Each structure stands twice: as C-alpha cells, then as structure tokens.
Structure 1
C-alpha cells in the first residue's frame, strides 16, 4: 500500500417528521391564526430545524430499515437532546446539500462534511469534531496497485462535489503527464458497485467510509492513502441566521466530555481513534474567530 501527501507526491510503504392527515380548519381557528393565536402544536412544528443529510455515506449517515443511522445522525440527536433542540432529518443528494443550506432551504447540514475554504465562503461551521484522510480503493480481485490506478489511462471514481473529487481533479486530471479519467458519482455506494463491475479502476473516499465498506464485507482493498488531515464539522447558513452555532458547539463539547461521543463513534466504527474536540480549526473560517459561539464563553 502507498501513502500520498495531499500537498506533494510522497510515496512510502504503509500497511421523520410526524405525518398527519389534512383536515378542514374551522373558521374560528382561521380567525385565531390570522390574529396570531397559534396553537402549541403549530409552534412546535415551526420550531423544528431541518437537517440536511446525504443518507448514503456510512458510517456518518445512512438509512437502514427506514431509519436514519450513523455517527453524525446519532451525535446530532444527542446534541439536540442536550440543547433542547427539535431537529428533523431530510435526505438529499450530496450535490444539492451545500446549495440548499446556502439558500436557506434547510437549517443545518449533518453528515461527514469536510471544512474547506470554498465552503467557508458560503457556510458557517461548528467547531470540528473529526479529521480524516482519504483512501484509494480497488476491487480485491483486480490485482491492481497504486501505480496502476494513477496513470496509464486509468479511470477513478469519486463523489461529485466532494473534496476527494476536487483533489483528484486538481492533482491528477489537470496535472501534465498524468493520463487518468475522473468519473463523478452521486454517492459512494454506486461508485463502489461501478468499480466492482469493472467500469472504473479505483474509487477514492474518506478513511471512515472506506473502512465501513470493508467491514461490511465489500470485496475492496485499500492500496493507498492521501494524507489530508481534513477537519469535519456541522454547518449552518452563513451568518447563522437561526443562531444555532452556540447550541451546536455547546452540545458537541458536552457529548464529548460525557463520553457519549466516543460511544457513538465506536458503535459504528469500533477501531476508530477518538480525537480531542475541537480538532484543528483553520483560520480561513469566520466562525472560528474569537469569540467562537458556545466555545469561547
């Protein structure tokens, strides 16, 4: 196996919300609502924050038997309980998540979201709770190694709009003398299936997701690592119009201090090392400047 530095070519050996039926509203209720006399149940419905997720990104977020699961999902539930927030999850395709949040169509983004300069221009981030590298996967029976999939007409798959796709585009596709084709996918489940069917030579995904595919018995092998040390966090709309950051940051710190965060992570990724929270906070993120809501208090 080979390890890459994200900044240079360094090679070295390595090992629901409630659904209700529609009813006709009596005239006196229409008048009451018009007058601003909103019922408690209606107020509660309006107070629910919509968390956008991409539910095909294990171990961070996925759906099993109709239920949202994953590290980010369970952690958000714990944060919501700790801070008294009402949050509902909405499954959306990955490419639409950041635009939906930037435009205010959802209230926060809950998944394995990498903090990047480009995203920091349109979003605000909670304190980071994780750091990740990226892994290069091949089909276990392919016999391919790192060199095979990084040159010579190879086709590499990654999720469109993800940081892995961006890195491959900048460092391979647009690099003189490197002959590779990059193929984008809506999610990594399809990307892996395409690779196993022989339509691509490799897939690049985060370390956590790669390990999840392997632990679930997918016949894939890691042949190289791209060292990124990429922080991950929750995100809200730029400017934090719903004033959620303080609650999110306090909740993250509280579930970390109580040991609940470690329990959640190890439920989905038993061998994962628990990093101190917050992890590295890049200085290009406005919401990491003092005072940091819910953290600098």
Structure 2
C-alpha cells in the first residue's frame, strides 16, 4: 500500500467526529452493521458462561465504533475459516474477530488496524523449569490453532532458530482452535502451545499457576477489522470512527479495562501502514 492510498483512505475523516453520512447507503438504510465474530478467543471475544452474553475487547470496541457511526451491531457467529467467504458474498459487512492483518489476506480484504499482537510460546506451569529459553522448545511438540497463521510462523521460527543451529525441528500440531491447544497441553499431548500475546495475561489470571510464557512474542503483527476490497466507503468510515475514539480517550479506556494498554496503536493504520 503506497502513501497516496493511505492518504486517500482517510480523506473524509474529520479531527473530531464521524457522521453517519459517511456510511454506505445500505448501512444507513439498515441502521446496523452485520459483523462476523467467533466468541472463542478471550479476552478478545467470548461468551460469559453465566449469562451467555458476548464480552471482550473486540465486542466493546465494535460497539463503541458503531455508536460513533450511529448504527447498531448485529453480531454473526461464524467459524473463522468461513469469515472471509461470508464477507465477500455479502452475508456480513465486516470482520471484527481477532484477525491478523496479514499480507496474504490483503488480496481479498482491506484492514483498519486497531492493535498490536504477536505469537507467544507458553507451557504448563508445572513444566516451566524445563524451558528456560525458547530454543529449549526445539524438537518438542507444540499445539496451535490450524485456522491461524501460527503454524506457518512457528515453522519459520523453527527453521531459523532450531534447524539452522543443528537442533531438531519443532513438531507443529494444528488444533481445532486455541481452546483445543490448551486442552492438549493440560493432557500432556503437546509440550507447549502458541497463542496471541494479547490472550496470555487473561488466561494466566483466569487459571492461576496453570501456564507459563517462554520468552517474548516471536512475531509482530497488527490485528485489523476486515472489509471487502470494494467497500472503501465503509472502511474509511470505520477508520474515522476509530480516530475519533482515540482522540476522545475511549479507545484507551477500552484497552485499559482489559489490561492491554501495551497493545494499543499510536494512530490510524490501514493495511499495516500509518495513514497520513
């Protein structure tokens, strides 16, 4: 994405607020946006086990963005692998569900980025002393959701840090989501697991003395709200709404409520590049 495109993407954004007039006519007429989200990735999105209510950072931010735009949110619980097809066929208007803004996804989507993330190795708390460094994971079996970029990223890390040093490769196990990876870790079926760095503090607080992180995140990536390539008007409206939330302090308030201030961005980024 060149700087001209980044500038064009925010051409209609004011410094103070965003009006519903900037939304596509179909959204204004409906008074709502249909948003793909799968609530199985706490603290980003999950269902309260007591009330079945949707909660999480993505939920709070999504509602705040919609309010800024003067519309309501209609959440669509869609499997991660079906989100992009659902967007491109018009079943939903956008994707807001802990999706990484990856170059290979930009052939189909445009992203308005809203936070930093990274792939993080972690092990069971009981085995933490076995893994003092990330390279102690070489040759071990590591579980991670097959629906994410983690398997490819872990294989690349292994090639550069294990095989290149003459150590055995990590054995990547694709699981049916992050919850399955955690279950296999607890059962001893894998030696370690990988999840987004934004989720680990929440898990460690929820389940005391259950997990231990190994080193720092080994990738750096933005999480983004995904829009169909043709839907530039809606993308730009959301970029403007996010800008307004950042300036008002509500963006920071939402992230602080989940203890994720370190994951905040310093401005508006579209497809991984700062918008000027």
TM over 0.5: yes
Name the structure 1 match of 2:212.
221
Higher share in helix: 2
Matches within 5 A, 1:258-269: 258-269=248-259
What's the CA shift string for 1:43-75, capped at 9, x where partnerless?
A: 999453210112111121111121111111111
RMSD over aligned CA atoms reads 2.7
Aligned with residue 82 of structure 2, among 91, 96, 100: 96
CA 1:149 to 1:183, structure 2 compared with 1: closer, same or farther past 3 Å?
A: farther
CA 1:181 to 1:58, structure 2 compared with 1: closer, same or farther past 3 Å?
A: same
How many aligned residue pairs are there?
241
- Structure 1 position 149, deviation (Å): 5.5
Name the structure 1 match of 2:237.
247
Indicate yes or no: 2:52 matched with 1:66.
yes
TM-score after normalising by structure 2: 0.77
Name the structure 1 match of 2:227.
236
Indicate yes or no: 2:128 matched with 1:137.
no
In the alignment, structure 1 segments of 5+ residues that lack a partner are 1-42
TM-score after normalising by structure 1: 0.72
- Structure 1 position 82, deviation (Å): 0.7
- The 4+ residue runs of structure 1 with deviation greater than 4 A are 43-47, 173-177
Q: Is the 8 A contact 2:143 2:192 kept in 1?
A: yes
In the alignment, structure 2 segments of 5+ residues that lack a partner are 1-26
CA 1:66 to 1:83, structure 2 compared with 1: closer, same or farther past 3 Å?
A: same
Task: State the distance in 2 between where 1:274 and 1:171 align.
Answer: 25
Q: Is the 8 A contact 1:94 1:187 kept in 2?
A: no
SS of the residue aligned with 2:116?
strand
Name the structure 2 match of 1:57.
41
Name the structure, 1 or 2, with higher relative contact order (CA <8 Å, separation 6+). 2
CA 1:172 to 1:105, structure 2 compared with 1: closer, same or farther past 3 Å?
A: farther
Task: State the distance in 2 between where 1:102 and 1:159 align.
Answer: 23
- Structure 1 position 224, deviation (Å): 2.1
